[in-house]
Structure 1
Amino acid sequence: MAGIGFELKRLFRRKGLFATMRAYGYAGIVCTGPMLLGVLLQVGILVLCGLWGVGRANQDLLVCMVTYTLLASLTLTSFFSMPVTRFLADMLFAEREDEILPSFWGSNAIMLVAGTVLYGVFLLFSGATLLQGLLCLWLFNIMIVNWNGMSYLTAIKDYRGILCSFAAAIGVACLCALAALALGLPPVEGLLASIALGYGVMLAWDVVLLYRYFPRSDRSPWRFLRWLDQFMPLALTGLFTNLGLFAHLVIIWAGPIGVQIKGLFYGAPYHDVPALIAFLTTLVTTVNFVVSVEVNFYPRYRDYYSLFNDGGVVGDIVVAEEEMLSTLNSELRFCALKQLFVTAAVISLETT
């Protein structure tokens, strides 16, 4: 998201319906592209499963294993994401970019070791076969590097490169899945390996982007740990936020509507599918909020506070404050109305 405001302002200065659609499309791709591409990957794999007649039990197990692996990797990296982002921001501000790549590999090393042990213990008792467990662990380690890399990629502002890496991951994963099914490989193992290969392509692509932007150096890879120690509340905030977002899923999976797929792998289709659709509808507000803040509200906010910094008179400050609050109220109202219409439309299509 870093720096998106400059590009949005440039796009929204252009007049016409096509220019407006292009600006909203750009905001939507940057804000929600990676998440939508991830959903598209899951859907694409399941469509291939349906075309090849893969049993429902195998499909459910595949979805559970991928979901568990993604959530586990997200939870682990959430502890480091905010301190690492703070370290990255401080190094960029101090123009010490040679410290950045070493910290990337240092943080990866710590999370890979800790994550392999923790998730490996879970997989041992999960009921997965040895091959399934190894593939889940492989995907888990790949995703740790990918999630961690996203913190560093925000500094590059190469949105096209980031989105291309996600698109390449989907393409490779779907092609590998198609090949695995055509060759008659075990469906769960073959598709898990395909997804891991796809995200592996994304990992390689993102690392190449980082090496193009940041200089190589022999600095200590553990320097960022000082920031982890100094900003421990940030680390705990990231972890608890992530747990707050996903803990209810575990509770529902273990509840009355939860379904045991295999061993410790559970799901709750009656909850998970509506929850995903509901989450997708909120993307309307996500995109509109970003556009409202960056294009309409921020200029008023900047004018208001610049009057304090530049010694503006009281009358101008009062007028600027009224304009800022008026813009804030109208933008929030428009966001709420747009979300209301979209939610009502989706609810009306519920039975379909």
Structure 2
Amino acid sequence: MAGIGFELRHLLRKKTWFGLAQTYAYASVIGSGPWVFSIVGILLMGLLSASLVVPTSLITQFQTSVTYLVASSLIFTGLCQLAFTRFISDRLFEKREEMVLANLHGLLLLVLGSACMIAMVVCFTVLRGQGVLYRILMISGFGLLCGVWVLTVLLSGMQRYKAIAALFGGCYALIVLLSAGLRHFGLEGLLGSFVIGHFLLFAGMWTLVLQEFNPRQTLIAFDFLRPQWLYGSLIFTGLFYNLGIWADKLMFWFYENTSQVIIGGLRASLIYDIPVFLSYLSVIPGMAVFLVRIETDFVEYHSKFFNAVREGGTLEYIESMRDEMVYAVQTGLGEIAKIQSLAVLATFVAGPSLLRWLGISDLYLPLLKVQVIGAALQVGLMAVLNVFFYLDQRRIVLWLCLQLVVLNVLLTGVSLYLGAAFYGYGFALAMLLTMCTGLHLLNRELARLEYRTFMLQ
């Protein structure tokens, strides 16, 4: 994340309103990620298709198909994203940039190959009876999304923010426009536009990586699989984190009282999915603040602290940098809480009008409010986990993610048992309890940071 922090600090030094706006705009694009863009794109495609008299059933089938692609690809690539990020970070710290591109190609080969095989098995079982073109597009979409999630681990180290913003915005805008032109081909036309757009996004991201890391003689390498460079805790952390985020959605999809069959063996919960989609749009300002605060103030003092440790700084200076780190964390979390509270209040106020504009019943409003709170808590949890990653507390992060999975499953199960009035509370409470646990552990770790740094190495 050092590249992001460097660029954000450069923009903040302008000390102008335009520089501040640029800072938060870049942070919003990088921090929110492709998942928010995909939510906006899917919603716009649904609205545009409905206005062009495409059958509602086809729109529902398309949105359900894409939702499954996004969820499954995130969970699947969660196995490698964090571990590969750590591998790349360590190699860059060692000034061995020549290893980056070859190992990226090796990871892409493994991920895309296994993703296509898994998708083919699913298409011949869960989606048997569907058209050949539909199943081919689902296989292609799953593979491309997996590739996009893998490439994002390198984008954070690059400083081509204008190009990245233009790439994301342009590709998702193209998806929406293509859906209007291909709507006459029905479900395959809508899904085809999604696949084409993500192919261009994948190609563009790969091109940006090639420009940053020059290719060497070795085209493909699998050094990241060496035992000494493979962190098992990070493999399970990525898996548990994504499972924790999607556990309640999966349970609502496959609980008969809250879902229905949409296409093939794919089920969806229309009563739950729409508020979830809308709620994640509220995290954009919180994610921007998260990146600006954590990746500028905290990272700066974090670097000074550990540089002083390695280079023999005075104890007074080391303690001073530790205090500045703690203050930066407190300030950052406080600002995230403030901006997300405003986003929650804005959603509460504008929620009825937003639902009416989208042609959605006001009956969804209570669930939307709960989901917005849950999404806001998720931003706070992400900030806490990010600080733990900087402190290299992998075991704590693993246990927090495992706690999130267990709590989300248990509390969502309770909410399903209690009835519609309690839908969404399982996810929100799971996020709240996990974040509180994380804050307690973070306070403890920061208080004994010097001890851990000097005595436990």
Report TM bin, short chain.
0.7 to 0.9
- Aligned equivalent of 1:284: 285
Does the 8 Å CA contact 2:154/2:209 hold for their aligned counterparts?
yes
TM-score, scaled relative to structure 2: 0.69
How far is the alpha carbon of 1:319 from its aligned partner? 6.8
Listed as ranges, the matches of 1:1-352 within 5 Å are 1-32=1-32, 34-127=34-127, 128-181=130-183, 184-185=184-185, 187-219=186-218, 220-226=220-226, 230-255=230-255, 256-298=257-299, 309-313=312-316, 325-326=326-327, 328-352=329-353
Q: Which amino acid aligns with 1:288?
A: V
**130-139 vs 272-281, greater mean Cα deviation:** 272-281
How far is the alpha carbon of 1:70 from its aligned partner? 1.9
Does the 8 Å CA contact 2:116/2:140 hold for their aligned counterparts?
no
How far is the alpha carbon of 1:68 from its aligned partner? 0.9
Q: Which amino acid aligns with 1:311?
A: T
Aligned length: 347
Query: 1:195 and 1:162 mapped to 2: Cα distance?
Result: 19
Closer, same or farther in 2 for the Cα pair 1:137/1:323, shift >3 Å? Answer: closer
TM-score, scaled relative to structure 1: 0.87
**170-179 vs 200-209, greater mean Cα deviation:** 170-179
**123-132 vs 49-58, greater mean Cα deviation:** 123-132
Does the 8 Å CA contact 1:33/1:163 hold for their aligned counterparts?
no
Deviation per CA, 1:172-191: give whole Å up to 9, x if none: 3233322213xx32x10011
Q: Which amino acid aligns with 2:119?
A: Y
Q: Which amino acid aligns with 1:163?
A: A
Does the 8 Å CA contact 1:169/1:200 hold for their aligned counterparts?
no
Deviation per CA, 1:241-264: give whole Å up to 9, x if none: 211211221101112221221231
Does the 8 Å CA contact 2:26/2:161 hold for their aligned counterparts?
no
Helix, strand or coil: the match of 1:261? strand
Query: 1:158 and 1:333 mapped to 2: Cα distance?
Result: 29
**Aligned sequence identity (%):** 24
Query: 1:326 and 1:155 mapped to 2: Cα distance?
Result: 25
How far is the alpha carbon of 1:296 from its aligned partner? 4.1
Deviation per CA, 1:2-56: give whole Å up to 9, x if none: 4222222222233343433332223222212533322232123213311221111
Does the 8 Å CA contact 2:119/2:138 hold for their aligned counterparts?
no
Q: Which has the higher contact order (CA 8 A, sep 6+)?
A: 1
Helix, strand or coil: the match of 1:349? helix
Query: 1:320 and 1:217 mapped to 2: Cα distance?
Result: 39
Q: Which amino acid aligns with 1:190?
A: G
Q: Which runs of 5+ in 2 are unaligned?
A: 354-457
**255-264 vs 30-39, greater mean Cα deviation:** 30-39
How far is the alpha carbon of 1:122 from its aligned partner? 1.6
Closer, same or farther in 2 for the Cα pair 1:227/1:60, shift >3 Å? Answer: farther
Closer, same or farther in 2 for the Cα pair 1:18/1:206, shift >3 Å? Answer: closer
Superposition RMSD in Å: 2.7
Deviation per CA, 1:308-346: give whole Å up to 9, x if none: 752154xx7777766665554444334323322221221
Deviation per CA, 1:195-215: give whole Å up to 9, x if none: 111111111112222222222
Helix, strand or coil: the match of 1:96? coil
Does the 8 Å CA contact 1:75/1:243 hold for their aligned counterparts?
yes
Does the 8 Å CA contact 1:304/1:320 hold for their aligned counterparts?
yes
**161-170 vs 46-55, greater mean Cα deviation:** 161-170
Does the 8 Å CA contact 1:77/1:144 hold for their aligned counterparts?
yes
Q: Which runs of 5+ in 1 are unaligned?
A: none
Does the 8 Å CA contact 1:12/1:23 hold for their aligned counterparts?
yes
Closer, same or farther in 2 for the Cα pair 1:228/1:280, shift >3 Å? Answer: farther
Helix, strand or coil: the match of 2:351? coil
How far is the alpha carbon of 1:283 from its aligned partner? 2.9
